[in-house]
Structure 1
Amino acid sequence: MAGSTPASLSADAAPPAPVSLAAEAWRRFRKHKLAVISMFILGALVLAVVAGPFVWRVPINEIDFTAKLQGPSWHHPLGTDDLGQDILARLIYGGRISLSVGLAAMAVALLVGVLIGAMAGMASGRVDAGLMWLTDLFLSLPQLPLLLLLIYLFRDTLKAAFGAEGGVFIMVVAVIGGLRWMPVARLVRAQFFSLREKEFVEAARALGAGRARLVARHILPNAMGPVIVAGTIDVASAIIAESTLSFLGLGFPPDVPTWGRVLFDAKDYLDIA
């Protein structure tokens, strides 16, 4: 190393560039093959419902009684309903609503779950016990009856404040997301308990990093991989919950063709093989 200069030595000893939270989360997310496959399926659905109206331009509310209850054809690939409306067009339109509800509810669940899980994971004693008691309390509640009760109580108030569709959207997202944060909180808490004793966290603490910096720069990025996987699963659960509400008549107005509403309209025409 006789030919080395101080400048080259300092360059070789330079620490690596810090990895952003998004880059670290994506690196860990790619390790879960099932989650990656689910992401591509979700992406295909999003692409279909976003680009579908530009490709399939049949109006969703065009009524044609001469074409009602038709089977699949070139003009109606998925057939028509009892009003002669094209089912494919209604499914594409309803997919935008169902996916929007699913993604928004997932964001609410992740936000609340990460916040409570991080607080419990970094704290100890009474704070951790109290937050986990609250989590267990919400987990013990029957979610579907509670979901129906909350929507029945606050539906008219939110409709009057934000309109028929806007009020229902806010209500459904808030209720579904507010009842699905508990598994995320427990997962984040377990990740924090495991990571806060790691060597790199101890080294950062020895260098004078405060609790907020430890969480934001060292612990949370390493805990986000499993959290994102859980979030993708919550999207499907939220879509099913929204479809259940629409099927039971407590979701969006009847003229809005969500996936649950399309299923509700078709239930009277099911044949037993």
Structure 2
Amino acid sequence: MAEDVVDGRGIQPRHLIVTVCALFADQLDGWFPVASLVRLLADLGVDEPAVRSSISRLKRRGLLEARRVRGAAGYELSDGARRLLHDGHQRAVHQSRPAVADGWLLAVFSVPEAERGKRHTLRSQLTRLGFGTAAPGVWIAPAHLHQETAAVLDRHGLRGYVELFRADHLSFVELPAKVAEWWDLDGLQQSYADFLARYRPVWRRWSRRRAIPEREAFADIVRMHTEWRLLPYADPGLPRELLPKNWNGSLAAELFASIDRRLTVPARRHVNLARLG
């Protein structure tokens, strides 16, 4: 099938297309001709039928919008997709963590049974924001996520179902023990470890090379950004003292930034060549 996974990491063509548009569309005034997308995705091992099928799916989901420029067919990211990617980028590049004294954000919600779809959307959005579950209908996150949470709830028409509270932890149970219940920190630690295992060899390879082949740089940076995009959402940005020892997230963020700095310029040159055809 055209939408089959393209490699052993589980990266699907539509995710790669979104990454290409997010990273490089500014070189084309926010717009990618279909022909350029086909050429660039070929460098990632995706054939033309899979590209066109994935574009159609992204268009149906409202993430891509069709636009013609000088008679050429192409696509650009929708406003909604840009907002989502901007939020993810902010989390990826701003890895500062709050202190325990900064407090917590509680989201208390109730959705009528007749509006189960809204309940699913609400839970999905809170999960994407990095909330953990403190009790049924009570979700918790570091207080610094307040503005982003309020904006997401407004955007999805969910504000009327949720009350947001600023809180301090005053329980008799040690906070690190409760945090381990509210979030799957072991799973997140492993996800970061997997990222390190995949991309440390990539960094060693590129750090030793003086000349950087542009096509290879493009392929590596697109795959890396695609895999990384989900991790900052899964990570709620907890205070360091509440994290496991030897937290892999800090190491993974440093590795991501090093590879990104090394490969961005040659990757952009390759995109310019693909645009010229």
TM-score w.r.t. length of structure 1: 0.27
- Structure with the bigger percentage of strand: 2
